[in-house]
Structure 1
Amino acid sequence: MRRHLLLAISLTTALLVPAGPAGAAPAADTTPPELKSIELSRSAVTVSGLQTVMIDVRVRLTDETGVEPTSDGVGGSFPYVALDATPNNFAELELTEGTPQDGTWTGQVAVTSAWQGTVRVKHVAAYDKAWNLLDVDPDTVIDPVAVQVTSSHRPGIDMTFPEPATRGKPIVMTVRVWDTDTGRPWANAPLVIGNDNGCVESGFRVNGRTGSTGTFRRTVPANQAGALHCAWVPGTSRTSGGGLDNRTIIAIDAAHLRYTRYKVSAKPARTAAPAGSSVDVTGSVSPLNKGKVIRLQRYSGGAWKNVNTGRVRASGRYTVVATPAGKASYSYRVYAPGDGYAVGGSSKAFTVRGT
């Protein structure tokens, strides 16, 4: 009888004891993924001209709920690493060993002659399943990781149009490619020519080549003239896909067509002044571009040379100072360099005589 009573008391007591940790709701994950290590398959690369050398990247990440592959919705994918060189400095990563909670994520970067010197891994980013974001400079948590790049004969590229253009008219695009080490034209250089969305979306196939003079020309129809234009010399793509992070660019130029030229007026406060003294030169620049740097130039040795600068005020006016160096007459002009707003333009030349 006593044994049955004790057993009943024990069972009753057990039922009255509150549930332990095993029955508690799990705590929310508020900690981002943790970077454990980064490895590059090569510590040094020598590359020249149109060559592309692929480097494998291995990144170990840990997280309580697991690293989550995702996209930011505008072409970027996580996780990824970035190096401090341009272009082609991103490597999208995929899980190839381990688990989302503790795994090795791998990808590739394309090294071209656009890179030079010590190129370090500068950025790692990854989300976990709870949407906590790791966004870190690896040097702050692990030993620095870098590759030493020796490069030569990088192609340079320049895309030009007859500007200012006339709205509603076709234009002729001229692309020039040259060897930046020798300055010589680069014949038969592969080109990707893009227009509008073709500059930022898929379809990165070679669709042009330079001729014997290192140039390529294309007539752009009037209905495409107002869009973004681009041209680049490609390297080997990391994958067959067409995403932004898969293309390999060695040299690129891109611009919108400009339909106006800066108009510049300039008037010196005096046309004669003691040598070494200051003479204010005032004028206006249109179209208005507040803060734009304008250049005072003096004609010397058969060319216009920069001697001073000023900035355009909110009114469109500017003031810049001329200083005649000796007892002689000096020819000046004010030049507004071209930019995304307008083609460069200059004032009429004027003279200040030093006395």
Structure 2
Amino acid sequence: MRLRSIAALLVAPLAALALTAPAANAAPDPDLTVTAARILRTTPVAVSSLNTVPVTVEVDAKYTWQEADRNTTLYAFLERTAGSGQVDTLFTTPLKLYAGTARDGSWRGVVNVPSTANGKFALTGVKVGRFGPGDMMDPSPVPGTHPTVTVVGSNLPKITARVIPDPVPYGKGYSIRWSVINGQTGKPYGTRLKVWLANDNGCAEQFGGPIYLTDTNGYVTKAYAASTTEYLNCLQLPGDPAPIGALGFFVNRLPRAVVVSATPSKTSAPVGTIVPVNGTVSGAPSYCPVKLQRLYGATAWRTVGTANVRLSGRYTVNAQPAYRGVIPYRVFFPACSNFKAGVSRTFSIRGT
């Protein structure tokens, strides 16, 4: 899947991916009502580097769905309320029923707290099922004062990336040399680290990807095909159930040359008549502008009409002969996104 809305940026700086809860898509599950929630930890959680500390979470809930049974699972959200860590939302592993029934019982599980959280988190909502992008319901809210946990993180991982070559020529593949080191000391962790390397949906709509191992200096290099140059690339640090850190970005690309064609629907028309001019821009740079230009004097081209390239790569601009005689025109495509500027051949419309 192409991330067209994001890919429109085309050249984006390296940026930490926001590891947050999926965006709200629907109302909370009407069958799930949370009556109480607890975090069984009253003291701050001290955690360092790539480690995690399990903290027990309990939820009292009523689940009235007709097929609810003891195998039903829930998971809970903990959202940042203070601090500035790399992770804004924590997810529990699937909660298991430990008392009562699925229709009115108590559930227990753990949140594996990473150092990258480094702040204060509140238990705000619960969903049915296992954590994953396929769950489209909003969380059922935790009532009353939300229980909280404070995370004190140290030796947080620092993720960087080097693209080779940079920028990437059009139609060519590239490599990314990823690095994961101790952000506090500026040195490697000294062991081979497991990382997820993904692109496209694997970065933006779900967690996880093929597992790679860094070397002991924290480096891992992956080659990417030319077909992925418009996609988001990312490295994620594996966690359970979600990553504990990530970096994602689009590669810089050299602009692509275009070929602009332009054909008037008529080669002569009465003065003042609108004459559609149809054409294409190779590469289909949709939504980029084209400019119909008319020659003034010997060398001055002036814009007399504009339009946008359609998804098909085609466009239509309107010429309007201003006087009797042969009038030279051309269509100019200004540099747009990762496409170079281009211009059509000159054509003429005779005003009569």
Alignment of 1:12-31 (within 5 A): none
One-letter identity of the residue aligned with 1:80 = Y
The one of 211, 217, 220 equivalent to 2:224 is 220
- The 3 A distance-change label for structure 1 pair 166 and 52 is same
Q: Give the match's secondary structure for 1:89.
A: strand
Structure 1 unaligned regions, length at least 5: 1-29, 70-76, 128-132, 238-245, 262-286, 290-314, 316-340, 343-355
Instruction: Please tell me whether the aligned partners of residues 122 and 149 of structure 2 are also in contact (alpha carbons under 8 angstroms).
Output: yes
- The 3 A distance-change label for structure 1 pair 219 and 33 is closer
What do the CA deviations read for 1:297-345 (whole angstroms, capped 9, x no partner)? xxxxxxxxxxxxxxxxxx9xxxxxxxxxxxxxxxxxxxxxxxxx67xxx
- The 3 A distance-change label for structure 1 pair 135 and 112 is closer
The one of 205, 209, 213 equivalent to 1:208 is 213
Instruction: Please tell me whether the aligned partners of residues 62 and 102 of structure 1 are also in contact (alpha carbons under 8 angstroms).
Output: yes
Mapped to 2, the partners of 1:231 and 1:134 lie a distance apart of 27
Instruction: Please tell me whether the aligned partners of residues 212 and 220 of structure 2 are also in contact (alpha carbons under 8 angstroms).
Output: no
Q: Is 1:178 matched up with 2:172?
A: no
Mapped to 1, the partners of 2:152 and 2:67 lie a distance apart of 35
Structure number with higher helix proportion: 1
- The root-mean-square deviation of aligned C-alpha atoms, in Å, is 4.1
- The 3 A distance-change label for structure 1 pair 193 and 34 is closer
Deviation at 1:260, TM superposition (A): 4.8
**Structure 1 residue aligned with 2:33:** 34
Deviation at 1:33, TM superposition (A): 3.5
Task: Count how many residue pairs are aligned between Structure 1 and Structure 2.
Answer: 219
Instruction: Please tell me whether the aligned partners of residues 119 and 148 of structure 1 are also in contact (alpha carbons under 8 angstroms).
Output: yes
Deviation at 1:173, TM superposition (A): 0.4
**Structure 2 residue aligned with 1:48:** 48
What do the CA deviations read for 1:206-239 (whole angstroms, capped 9, x no partner)? 4121453x4332222334444432112334x3xx
Deviation at 1:174, TM superposition (A): 1.7
- The 3 A distance-change label for structure 1 pair 116 and 163 is same
Q: Give the match's secondary structure for 1:84.
A: strand
What do the CA deviations read for 1:73-118 (whole angstroms, capped 9, x no partner)? xxxx974321114266122434343212211123322111111132
Q: Is 1:118 matched up with 2:120?
A: yes
Q: Is 1:229 matched up with 2:236?
A: no
Deviation at 1:186, TM superposition (A): 4.5
Alignment of 1:335-346 (within 5 A): none
Q: Percent identity over the alignment?
A: 24
Q: Give the match's secondary structure for 1:149.
A: strand
One-letter identity of the residue aligned with 2:186 = G
Instruction: Please tell me whether the aligned partners of residues 188 and 216 of structure 2 are also in contact (alpha carbons under 8 angstroms).
Output: no
**Structure 2 residue aligned with 1:103:** 105
**Structure 1 residue aligned with 2:250:** 256
- The 3 A distance-change label for structure 1 pair 171 and 111 is same
The one of 162, 169, 192 equivalent to 1:166 is 169
Instruction: Please tell me whether the aligned partners of residues 186 and 210 of structure 1 are also in contact (alpha carbons under 8 angstroms).
Output: no
One-letter identity of the residue aligned with 1:39 = R
One-letter identity of the residue aligned with 2:184 = D
Q: Which has the larger radius of gyration?
A: 1
**Structure 1 residue aligned with 2:155:** 153
Mapped to 1, the partners of 2:51 and 2:36 lie a distance apart of 29
By relative contact order (CA 8 Å, sep 6+), the higher-ranking structure is 2
Mapped to 2, the partners of 1:182 and 1:117 lie a distance apart of 21
What do the CA deviations read for 1:234-289 (whole angstroms, capped 9, x no partner)? 34x3xxxxxxxx24x2321123334257xxxxxxxxxxxxxxxxxxxxxxxxx999
Deviation at 1:188, TM superposition (A): 3.6
The one of 64, 76, 84 equivalent to 2:79 is 84
> Which structure 1 residue ranges, 4+ long, deviate > 6 Å from structure 2?
none
Mapped to 1, the partners of 2:176 and 2:66 lie a distance apart of 50
Instruction: Please tell me whether the aligned partners of residues 61 and 103 of structure 1 are also in contact (alpha carbons under 8 angstroms).
Output: yes
Deviation at 1:60, TM superposition (A): 0.6
- The 3 A distance-change label for structure 1 pair 134 and 171 is closer
- The 3 A distance-change label for structure 1 pair 168 and 146 is same
Mapped to 2, the partners of 1:134 and 1:258 lie a distance apart of 36
Deviation at 1:155, TM superposition (A): 0.3
- The 3 A distance-change label for structure 1 pair 107 and 42 is same
**Structure 2 residue aligned with 1:11:** none
Q: Give the match's secondary structure for 1:114.
A: coil
**Structure 1 residue aligned with 2:344:** none
One-letter identity of the residue aligned with 1:122 = T
Mapped to 2, the partners of 1:121 and 1:67 lie a distance apart of 27
What do the CA deviations read for 1:28-63 (whole angstroms, capped 9, x no partner)? xx9754322212232331100111112222111125
- The 3 A distance-change label for structure 1 pair 87 and 232 is farther
